[in-house]
Amino acid sequence: MNTTQETEFDYQTYMKESARGPSKINRGTKAREKRREAVKARISQKLQQGDRTH
């Protein structure tokens, strides 16, 4: 009995159907800095919440 079933995945069709629009893609240095600051803020929030529980 074969328990592994291989299903073919059509990557090109998947990307056509689910690709992000050009207006939603954040490019450039400013966007990268903005994302980095957002991640840093989330990390510091989690650290502060951890301090409150102990």
Q: What local confidence, expressed as pLDDT, does residue 1 receive? A: 46
- 3-state secondary structure string across the chain: CCCCCCCCCCHHHHHHHHCCCHHHCCCHHHHHHHHHHHHHHHHHHHHHHHHHHC
For residue range 1-54, list pLDDT tens digits in order. Answer: 455 566 788 888 888 888 777 777 778 999 999 999 999 999 999 999 887 765
Q: What local confidence, expressed as pLDDT, does residue 9 receive? A: 87
Q: What local confidence, expressed as pLDDT, does residue 26 receive? A: 75
Residue 9 contacts residue 17 (beta carbons within 8 Å):
no
pTM for the predicted model, two decimal places:
0.47
